[in-house]
Chain A
């Protein structure tokens, strides 16, 4: 939209400040006018409010260490896209960076939700890729991502009504069931 051009590093810093601005504006109960004297954002006694109806989680789609550390420090969720990850190992690595940054900031790593945009293909024949094949195969793989990689929210990227229906009616209930059963053990 024609905004200023920032280097990737500057953009992380600007985002860091932006989170403070957003949280500051939402903090409508605070009588103090909002003052932020940042490198990228300056607010000189801005009016706060309105406060949202519930605590809106700020989640970031991130892949590199500086952003992941920002998540550990300040964000409420990590939302990468499966297709942009080199492998599921990248999920484990990212989780470790986030957890460490959270500890350093004195936060409980469990305060940060792990989310994942997923896409794939439904069909009779299981392929050698993640999330290809019948709904039951999807359910098994998502269960593994939930139990071993901590993913709590799975978001299907699709404009195919039939795929959305299968995901909602078959995959999601199966994953809930499998995860609940495993956690109960």
Chain B
């Protein structure tokens, strides 16, 4: 063959069906078959004699899961381009970024300008005056979920080369000479416009029986990358699908022999926004299409996380463990920051960065029951805890997680997991029975009590420093309806309230887990407290019995008590993109008891203006049943986990450091102070030494260094693993033991009511009785549009 080998543009091959738009039932059947047969695309033509193309395509979108969807030959002379832009973007959003848009040549140039203008994120309205299209100040939006490619039909190769993303021809009726002339015109127009001809896909619609030779020749000699069979016949579709693997294999062999690089080409405009230090041209083939770079439309949805603004140079979105291995291998070749993201909710975690690479595990989100008898479930790191709660609820199970359903499984389950069932059922990590981990060197191992036990130990508390967990096996707990309360209290006497909260929680049976949120006084209003508490009981009397002491820790302003299933507390996330900005300033501490001294210090802190949000989660109970050396989460004796958010890093650090004497450690996931001492607060010496030893074996080159930073022993400089202060630095304010309690905790329960004694609460009236919880409903769902800290006044 003498054909010009550069004619193969190396586009990943795609195969699809052009379904006749006449009858909706048959069209959906064909589309479903195409998806099941592994085809990539379903197209519907815009035919005035048939069903409306957008409506039919929407119907098909609802019936299918991941096959691509396109309207082909949409006539934007006959209809307003602005309406088509909204229709395409809306369907792309509804269908999860699966839509492509094919236009007839007539009027396409104006239409493309308008459609792209309406999709752009820009607040100014669009005014346009053309031959076919007129817009008088049109509002833009919605923007589609991904960069929707726009194709132009066969008659306009120049236009396709100049501005479009694809050139779509119907082969029957187009003689080969004319076809090749068209292809040459596309290339020439692209080059004249300063584009790479590979930016434009060539789409061929075929009719009748197709053979592998023809498709191979079209791909290799003419640069076609997408093949559509126009048919309404299921048998013809199956025959086509049978040819597909043959063509894929032959083209792959031919390309590899000829050194053709396979991959989609980003447009010149997108390439212009690339960041230095990232080799975009060698992104592994399996990852290239889902990868997001700064010039992509999808970038706005993946750049930031929940609390942190970001501008990564590349977001890789693997779908399988093998693709995680590919992504990690690629990332390792770069000397830029590497973030690993599950739900993107983390406070400490660097799941976004500036100019670096992010491996986003959102697509590894499976939830699968492995053994009903053992309540063993396998969950991917990209699943959200709200989804897990919902999936396990029908089985009568739950896994204690955080307090918000939008949190991803991976980040929480490699750090700790302090949730509303903590005192009853322990930490999230205490329910892990096995993990699959991609290690720094790209190997994939299963770690459990018997295999890689050190790794298994470290993953539970410091997992982000050791590898990427690609699946977790958990043992769920049997959890039915729960009592759940939200109590609003006056916190004018902050110290008194805090101390009383601590005593009430420590005195309560384990079925109570309570979180206390304090807000500083502002605009003349006193400090306010909200108690959110779960009681693992569906008996209203038990629920009230457990909650009543909490209602008395301060003047009760409002109360709501309900019986709800666990998904009602940790509800699935509302759809929407993370829009974090800047850097969160947070501090974490674990404390054993809320002593009078600490309560006074916390009051001063709350009133110092350094914080806008201060939370105390109860830990203790079952959390403390696990030995401190059993996992990398060591501070098992703490009864409370405190976290503070501040608007100003320096002020927050100064005020928080004042209280250091009261702290027994910290929970890494809530800590954003990057001073090296914090690592010692999170991981006591023995834990850190073991972590270092494991790290030196599993990640000797410190690939995973963007979250829990475990320095190699030889690099000790600013701190020492035994916890002693480094030379030349001020001694840490941390003391090995907190101040003695002024009065020992009084055990209560049983015959002795769990209520504050007269010694400490004599100045308060008996608390008002709580109202019994609302009748149990099977689908109670509390609305929590954003998690607690988003609504707390930033």
| A132, B783: Cα distance in complex, Å | 20
- B83: chain A residues at CB < 8 Å are 1
Q: At the interface with chain A, which of B131-139, B509-517, B620-628?
A: B131-139
- B127: chain A residues at CB < 8 Å are 2
B136 & A47 in contact (Cβ 8 Å cutoff): no
A161: interface (CB < 8 Å)? yes
| A79, B252: Cα distance in complex, Å | 60
A50: interface (CB < 8 Å)? yes
| A66, B780: Cα distance in complex, Å | 45
- How extensive is the interface on chain A, given as a class? 10 to 19
A29: interface (CB < 8 Å)? no
Contact count A vs B, C-beta below 8 Å? 37
Interface of A is mostly: loop
B659: interface (CB < 8 Å)? no
6 contacting pairs across A/B (C-beta < 8 A):
A2-B82, A2-B125, A2-B126, A2-B128, A50-B51, A162-B781
A5 & B779 in contact (Cβ 8 Å cutoff): no
A1 & B139 in contact (Cβ 8 Å cutoff): yes
B138 & A2 in contact (Cβ 8 Å cutoff): yes
Given A2-B128, A47-B49, answer yes or no on A162-B80 (Cβ-Cβ < 8 Å).
no
- A4: chain B residues at CB < 8 Å are 134, 136
- B126: chain A residues at CB < 8 Å are 2
B51 & A2 in contact (Cβ 8 Å cutoff): no
Flag A31-48 by CB within 8 Å of B: 1 or 0 each: 000000000000000010
B48 & A3 in contact (Cβ 8 Å cutoff): no
- Min CB distance B192 to A, Å, is 31
- Min CB distance A6 to B, Å, is 11
Instruction: Tell me the nearest residue of chain A to B83, going by C-beta.
Output: A1
A1 & B138 in contact (Cβ 8 Å cutoff): yes
B82 & A1 in contact (Cβ 8 Å cutoff): yes
A86: interface (CB < 8 Å)? no
A2 & B135 in contact (Cβ 8 Å cutoff): yes
Instruction: Tell me the nearest residue of chain A to B783, going by C-beta.
Output: A160
| A31, B260: Cα distance in complex, Å | 57
B5: interface (CB < 8 Å)? no
Flag B464-503 by CB within 8 Å of A: 1 or 0 each: 0000000000000000000000000000000000000000
- B51: chain A residues at CB < 8 Å are 50
Instruction: Tell me the nearest residue of chain B to A5, going by C-beta.
Output: B136
Instruction: Tell me the nearest residue of chain B to A160, going by C-beta.
Output: B783
Flag B696-710 by CB within 8 Å of A: 1 or 0 each: 000000000000000
B86: interface (CB < 8 Å)? yes
Chain A interface residues toward B at CB < 8 A: 1-5, 47, 49-50, 160-162, 165
- Min CB distance B467 to A, Å, is 40
A161 & B781 in contact (Cβ 8 Å cutoff): yes
B783 & A3 in contact (Cβ 8 Å cutoff): no
- B138: chain A residues at CB < 8 Å are 1-2
- A2: chain B residues at CB < 8 Å are 80, 82, 125-128, 134-139
- Min CB distance A161 to B, Å, is 6
Given contact pairs A2-B137, A5-B136, A160-B783, a sample of 6 additional A-B residue pairs in the complex whose CB atoms are under 8 Å apart: A1-B138, A2-B128, A47-B48, A49-B49, A162-B780, A162-B781
Which residues of B from 40 to 54 have beta carbons under 8 Å from A? Answer: 48-51
| A160, B137: Cα distance in complex, Å | 35
| A161, B574: Cα distance in complex, Å | 14
- A1: chain B residues at CB < 8 Å are 80, 82-83, 86, 135, 138-139
Size of chain B's interface in residues, with CB distance under 8 A?
23
Instruction: Tell me the nearest residue of chain B to A46, going by C-beta.
Output: B48
| A3, B80: Cα distance in complex, Å | 9
Chain B interface residues toward A at CB < 8 A: 48-51, 80, 82-83, 86, 125-128, 134-139, 777, 779-781, 783
| A1, B783: Cα distance in complex, Å | 33
- Min CB distance A30 to B, Å, is 15
- A47: chain B residues at CB < 8 Å are 48-49
- B136: chain A residues at CB < 8 Å are 2-5
| A4, B134: Cα distance in complex, Å | 8
- Min CB distance B452 to A, Å, is 45
Instruction: Tell me the nearest residue of chain B to A1, going by C-beta.
Output: B82
| A162, B564: Cα distance in complex, Å | 13
| A1, B50: Cα distance in complex, Å | 26
| A143, B423: Cα distance in complex, Å | 51
| A49, B47: Cα distance in complex, Å | 12
- B82: chain A residues at CB < 8 Å are 1-3
| A50, B24: Cα distance in complex, Å | 12
- Min CB distance B152 to A, Å, is 22
| A39, B544: Cα distance in complex, Å | 70
- Min CB distance A165 to B, Å, is 8
- B49: chain A residues at CB < 8 Å are 47, 49
- Min CB distance A7 to B, Å, is 14
Instruction: Tell me the nearest residue of chain A to B133, going by C-beta.
Output: A2
Instruction: Tell me the nearest residue of chain A to B114, going by C-beta.
Output: A2
- Min CB distance B116 to A, Å, is 14
- A49: chain B residues at CB < 8 Å are 49
| A160, B135: Cα distance in complex, Å | 37
Instruction: Tell me the nearest residue of chain B to A47, going by C-beta.
Output: B48
Q: Which 4 A-B pairs have the closest CB atoms?
A: A2-B138, A2-B135, A1-B82, A2-B82
| A2, B84: Cα distance in complex, Å | 13
Instruction: Tell me the nearest residue of chain A to B50, going by C-beta.
Output: A50
- Min CB distance A157 to B, Å, is 16
| A180, B205: Cα distance in complex, Å | 60
- B777: chain A residues at CB < 8 Å are 165
Instruction: Tell me the nearest residue of chain A to B85, going by C-beta.
Output: A1
- Min CB distance B162 to A, Å, is 24
Instruction: Tell me the nearest residue of chain A to B52, going by C-beta.
Output: A50
| A162, B560: Cα distance in complex, Å | 15
- A3: chain B residues at CB < 8 Å are 80, 82, 136
| A5, B134: Cα distance in complex, Å | 12
Instruction: Tell me the nearest residue of chain A to B55, going by C-beta.
Output: A50
| A52, B306: Cα distance in complex, Å | 45
- Min CB distance B57 to A, Å, is 15
| A165, B781: Cα distance in complex, Å | 12
| A47, B777: Cα distance in complex, Å | 53
| A84, B611: Cα distance in complex, Å | 43
| A161, B780: Cα distance in complex, Å | 8
| A50, B20: Cα distance in complex, Å | 15
| A160, B126: Cα distance in complex, Å | 35
Instruction: Tell me the nearest residue of chain A to B22, going by C-beta.
Output: A50
- Min CB distance B426 to A, Å, is 31
A161 & B80 in contact (Cβ 8 Å cutoff): no
- B128: chain A residues at CB < 8 Å are 2
- Min CB distance B596 to A, Å, is 41
- A160: chain B residues at CB < 8 Å are 783
User: Which of B48, B86, B779 is A161 in contact with, Cβ under 8 Å?
Assistant: B779
| A160, B134: Cα distance in complex, Å | 40
| A141, B86: Cα distance in complex, Å | 40
| A45, B136: Cα distance in complex, Å | 28
- Min CB distance B549 to A, Å, is 27
| A162, B779: Cα distance in complex, Å | 9
- B125: chain A residues at CB < 8 Å are 2
| A145, B125: Cα distance in complex, Å | 42
Instruction: Tell me the nearest residue of chain A to B82, going by C-beta.
Output: A1
- Min CB distance B125 to A, Å, is 8
- A165: chain B residues at CB < 8 Å are 777, 779
| A49, B50: Cα distance in complex, Å | 8
| A42, B362: Cα distance in complex, Å | 51
Instruction: Tell me the nearest residue of chain A to B779, going by C-beta.
Output: A161
Instruction: Tell me the nearest residue of chain B to A50, going by C-beta.
Output: B51
| A59, B156: Cα distance in complex, Å | 43
| A50, B47: Cα distance in complex, Å | 11
| A162, B562: Cα distance in complex, Å | 13
| A49, B777: Cα distance in complex, Å | 47
- Min CB distance A121 to B, Å, is 15
- A50: chain B residues at CB < 8 Å are 50-51
